[in-house]
Amino acid sequence: MNSENLLGQFLRARREQVRPEDAGITVDGWRRVPGLRREEVAMLAGVSADYYVRLEQGRERNPSAQVLDALARTLRLEADAVAHLHQLTRPAPVRGRVREERVSPNLLRMMDGWPATPAVVLGRCLTVLAHNALGGALFDGHTHSRDLVRLVFLDDGARDFYPDWDRVAVNTVAGLRAAVGVGHDDPQLIETVGELSVKSEKFRELWARHDIRQKTHETKRFRHPLVGELTLHYESLTVNSAPGQQLVVYQAEPGSPSEEALALLGSFTAPEAVRPEERHPNHRE
């Protein structure tokens, strides 16, 4: 994965997504390039066109915080993307040996104490490191049930499982970028992006957009093969004891058909028949 000019790649991808009309620019006739032109970004951000061109081309790598904030406003970036933009200009951290992702036994016990609440622990590339019984049941039955990115883009049943697949696809790629930050030399990320870019045209298109959005909370619809439609709210919590891990907890609206369907799904699970080491392949004693 080319990481020589991440700042330039990000700026170009994001300016191509801004409609000139939304930036107050009158468009007369056909335009050769999508979105804003370089000189238009420069004008709106209050910098010279030459300086902005050098930023995009990687010949200028130390813009001030004020310039970055002006570019963020011009490109209409959300908070996560603004933080990412600033991070791209900082020296890359020295990366040591990539540690195997392990989930603490305390977290596993806590999840197992929520028999009526689906819960999963995600790793830095949105792989499922661990889950409780109901969390496993929610995603069971798919070829890539333990890898949420591959599930969305490579699984034959993904569009049936996610009724709002297009929105899920956009958010999944944006969440993957947020999860890995600027660590584009991560071997797991390189493998994931490489495989998906070859096998999924939609992933390739979305990855090139450089959208970035933390996985925090959302309402998501599922069409489960056993219990039918589910509308669940989720919260994603950072695991402070294991940087890069996220605890994702799903809940149904009290008294809703989804709560009944979730209870029915829970009745199909038998946690006492599944040992922790079988359910949590990455747990740490």
Could you tell me which residue, 207 or 284, shows the higher pLDDT? 207
Residue boundaries of the structural domains of the chain: 6-88, 105-279
In contact, 224 and 92? CB cutoff 8 Å: no
Taking the C-alpha atoms of residue 55 and residue 75, their distance in angstroms, rounded to an integer, is: 14
In this chain, the answer to whether the domains covering 6-88 and 105-279 adopt an identical fold is no
Is it the case that residue 282 has pLDDT exceeding 60?
no
Backbone angles phi, psi at 185, to 5 degrees: -95, 10
Fold of 105-279: Beta-Lactamase (3.30.450)
| pLDDT tens per residue across span 96-124 | 566 678 899 999 999 999 999 999 999 98
- CATH node for 6-88: 1.10.260.40
Average pLDDT, rounded, for the chain: 88
Mean pLDDT in residue range 61-73: 93
> 62-66, 184-188, 189-193: which range is least confident on average?
184-188
Mean pLDDT in residue range 172-199: 85
Mean pLDDT in residue range 145-165: 96
- CA 57 to chain centroid, in Å, comes to 27
Q: DSSP string of 178-227?
A: HHHTT-TT-HHHHHHHHHHHHH-HHHHHHHTTT------EEEEEEEETTT
- The whole-number pLDDT of residue 182 equals 62
Could you tell me which residue, 29 or 86, shows the higher pLDDT? 86
Confidence of residue 5 (pLDDT cuts 50, 70, 90): confident
Is it the case that residue 283 has pLDDT exceeding 60?
no
pTM confidence score:
0.81
Backbone angles phi, psi at 15, to 5 degrees: -70, -30
Confidence of residue 276 (pLDDT cuts 50, 70, 90): very low
- The whole-number pLDDT of residue 46 equals 94
- The whole-number pLDDT of residue 183 equals 62
**pLDDT over 70, % of the chain:** 89
> 169-173, 207-211, 212-216, 248-252: which range is least confident on average?
212-216
- The whole-number pLDDT of residue 180 equals 75
